[in-house]
Structure 1
Amino acid sequence: MFAVLKTGGKQYRVQAGDVLRVEKLDAVAGDKIQFNEVLMVGTTIGVPFVAGAAVQAEVIDQIKGEKVIHYVKRRRKHSSQRTKGHRQHLTLVRVTEVLEKGAEKTGVKAAVGTVAARRAAHEAPGAARAEKPVKAAKAAAPEAAEKPKRAAKAAASAEE
């Protein structure tokens, strides 16, 4: 049986035993994860997702993709060139099982991307940021520096 799942802004058609290179997930090698955003299982099409369906997978490794070179050359009296390279962070996973029903009862960790994991940790109730205290000396310093200038200007205008 096959399924179409969504992760990292892309859709993948998978079945048991497939090896995928997906956008980086918040998991280490050997972890068992579960993709809950399943768009289609066999002949069942979700609106937008199939309720209770999931795809379970095992994380093989965290890898980097091939290097992509971006080259820019500006013309006309400007002899500037720029070369930039980029290697995308990817997670290698092996699909172990496609579930049509009962995804909530499995107890397997949901597949979460690193960006989503950082946002969730940041928005956690215990992760409130402490405000930086404003130093009174710095706040008072500009006012104290302006007073002699004002007095000097007032004295100069009085003399005239």
Structure 2
Amino acid sequence: MYAVIKTGGKQYRVAAGEKIKVEQMPADVGQDIVLEEVLAVVNGEDAKFGTPLVDGAKVTAKVLSHGRHDKVRIFKMRRRKHYQKHQGHRQNYTELQIETISA
């Protein structure tokens, strides 16, 4: 059984027991959260698709940690113009462990 959820402007395919890293959420480590924006739930041959959300479906997850991804380096250069620009970015994330999927 798996589900497709939406959080932080992105969509994730999740199953029970999986660990995923999503955009940073305001939750404490160890706290259980409920994700109610479920787009699809698939259980073998039985599939439910929402328009846009599946009614009554929810995914519960436990917050494992907060952190930051690896640095993405941005380098801009215009040749023969003596222009170079260095920049970097690290995105914050929240790591979740999916516990249950209910439809």
Q: Following the alignment from structure 1 to structure 2, what is the Cα–Cα distance between the partners of residues 27 and 70? A: 31
Name the residue aligned to 2:30.
30
Aligned to 2:86: 83
Give the corresponding residue for 1:109.
none
Structure 2: which 5+ residue stretches go unaligned?
none
TM-score normalised over the length of structure 1:
0.60
- The runs of at least 4 consecutive aligned structure 1 residues that moved more than 3 Å come to none
CA offsets 1:75-120 (integer angstroms, 9 cap, x no match): 33x31211101000000000000011xxxxxxxxxxxxxxxxxxxx
In the other structure, the counterpart of 2:64 is: 60
Bigger radius of gyration among the two: 1
Counterpart amino acid of residue 69 in structure 2 = G
Q: Distance in 2 between matches of 1:5 and 1:80?
A: 43
Deviation at 1:58, TM superposition (A): 0.2
C-alpha distance in structure 2 between counterparts of 1:27 and 1:46, whole Å: 27
- Tell me how many residue pairs correspond in the alignment: 99
Larger strand fraction of residues: 2
Contiguous gaps of at least 5 residues in structure 1: 101-160
Distance 1:2 1:75 in 2: 50
Q: Secondary structure at the match of 2:63?
A: strand
Select the structure that is richer in helix: 1
CA distance in 2, matches of 1:28, 1:21: 15
Q: TM-score, normalised by structure 2?
A: 0.92
Return the match for 1:74 from 74, 78, 88. Answer: 78
- Whole-Å separation in 1 of the counterparts to 2:86 and 2:64: 32
**What CA RMSD, in Å, does the superposition of the two structures yield over aligned residues?**
0.8
Q: Could you list the per-position Cα deviations for residues 21-48 of structure 1 after superposition, in whole angstroms to 9, with x for gaps in the alignment?
A: 0001111211100110000011001010
SS in 2 for 1:48: coil
Q: Distance in 2 between matches of 1:64 and 1:56?
A: 23
